[in-house]
Structure 1
């Protein structure tokens, strides 16, 4: 009983147990992980601008709504090429001696996962417009606007990055929205979020509980079943070209009444643009289109469903294409 009445012995014992458990549960396993896990071979460290953008990402509370972890279930397949693994985070170090905030995996997915956003949406123009006011591009978006990351100017300098904003969203006529350095740094961080390919010898993690794509309608005879192009368009194209196919003036071209969409003689042009992206209208002020087909691993059936949806909506009345036809065209245009 004397031991329990001696506060010094009790304090020393409790402190010793705490230190021992800390070593066994935290320190030694962390050192072992650090020894056994290394960054993936193709992983790139953050640039100085991206590092500053990460600090802005944290200060603006973006991690409260966006995760950076692709789970190994099929419903997460749209966020990355594969499920996330421990090696994806091993190259991330502490912010500084006072702050950890190394990995920003998040716990809530109120907004889309950002693990591979640098591949899914690499357009600087789109990201800046979306950051200034998400409702310009996505009418139903619940993401807050960040106008304090931009400047309002009547006279711009050649070095200013002017954001494409429709007139109804401008504070007043004859003004322009210019991205601040903070906004550009934040976009640099988002564009750096790219899921690295695993080495060929590494076992590839798989998505579980796979769901079969739902055909649009049952067909009769020997006609092939066609996937529903509406959700595929919404997931891969709508953020830029809009739900009505009219795009955004001065930023993203319209698919409604598009000559390329309506050209029945050269469907390979449309396949090429979907697969490899397009920069032919930059001189007109339009943004560079990313390689959606390659970036999002779209199959021939999915590409044909998107094409047929675009070709037969918003007043468009073009000839449909088959998945077999698209499969051959993909081989031709593949870079």
Structure 2
């Protein structure tokens, strides 16, 4: 026995053998089992060529250091996705090559928000490009660095150029047009592709644990919105573009404060924009169909628009849920024709 402890060769080989054995048992065999027992969900969409390029850019720029792509089964994570993440969500991840593995990009820290479902939460290409160029232009308290090297300045736009609607306050001496490079466009294509796949009916969705008590106090603009928190819903779905002040961003996103569409006694146009989006180019960037993308109910839409109609000095009648539901049904019928 003493010979064993005195012979460094035996000690080294024993330690190496134990390490290899544990690696096989703890890491390799479970990984192979997961790979064999999980496959991508049938509703999972394959990444486009641009999105694949964008994924590599996402990795190269260290985005995984601040952003996760995992919705935990905790109620506090419900804001990041419709359901907790499951193994199948990561089953289509493949090695970049023999020596490199992109892993799952699940991340370990949320200095910034989780991006699992960002393609649904924030599908606007214009917003994403502006956010990359100068995050504080759209989120005042953001600590994210500005990725301005992904853009270039041009005196005149050329065919195919995508101009970024940067507000004057953030141009900092830039005289010409701010144009997104192909690298920036590919990165945004990847971000827009991040959408949580719907589970087949045969697979029950995991539950969120430690559910918090729902807030039932309506905002000042309640208006028969079943007590939903309109301010919170606005913050989650609208604030990143239209801002907490409702003032929007000049040249990028229109103001809701004093807006005739918001204040109109007939809320049909406002509800149509919330549900189906609107393209206001060239004055403003196009708005995605937030209501449809996020599957907002009539009660949630009522809470949002009533908050908008009663905030920032706005004063318009409260729209009841049943009126919102009738308009939403009418919009669906019109879309089918």
Instruction: Give TM-score scaled by structure 1 length.
Output: 0.90
User: Contact 2:58–2:187 at 8 Å: present in 1 too?
Assistant: yes
> What SS is found at the alignment partner of 2:88?
helix
Shift of 1:218: 9.9
Please name the residue that 2:231 is paired with.
230
Indicate yes or no: 2:275 matched with 1:278. Answer: no
Please name the residue that 2:69 is paired with.
68
Q: Deviations over 1:82-105 (max 9, x none)?
A: 111110001011222222232111
Shift of 1:254: 2.0
Distance 1:14 1:302, change over 3 A: same
Shift of 1:30: 1.6
User: Contact 1:81–1:296 at 8 Å: present in 2 too?
Assistant: no
1:18-97 to structure 2, matched below 5 A, reads 18-97=19-98
CA distance in 2, matches of 1:161, 1:224: 40
Please name the residue that 2:298 is paired with.
300
Shift of 1:304: 1.1
Shift of 1:110: 1.3
Distance 1:203 1:227, change over 3 A: closer
Aligned residue pair count: 329
> What SS is found at the alignment partner of 2:189?
helix
Shift of 1:315: 2.9
Where in structure 1 do 4 or more consecutive aligned residues deviate above 6 Å? none
Distance 1:287 1:21, change over 3 A: same
Shift of 1:5: 4.5
Stretches of structure 2 that go unaligned for 5 or more consecutive residues are none
User: Contact 1:261–1:310 at 8 Å: present in 2 too?
Assistant: yes
> What SS is found at the alignment partner of 1:41?
coil
Indicate yes or no: 2:195 matched with 1:194. Answer: yes
Q: Deviations over 1:27-57 (max 9, x none)?
A: 2222111111101112123222222212221
Distance 1:42 1:97, change over 3 A: same
CA distance in 1, matches of 2:220, 2:50: 51
1:185-334 to structure 2, matched below 5 A, reads 185-211=186-212, 212-216=214-218, 226-265=227-266, 267-279=267-279, 281-282=280-281, 284-334=282-332
CA distance in 2, matches of 1:238, 1:18: 52
Shift of 1:64: 1.5
Cα RMSD (Å):
2.3
Distance 1:30 1:268, change over 3 A: same
User: Contact 1:66–1:106 at 8 Å: present in 2 too?
Assistant: yes
User: Contact 1:271–1:333 at 8 Å: present in 2 too?
Assistant: no
Distance 1:227 1:25, change over 3 A: closer
Shift of 1:12: 4.1
Distance 1:243 1:14, change over 3 A: closer
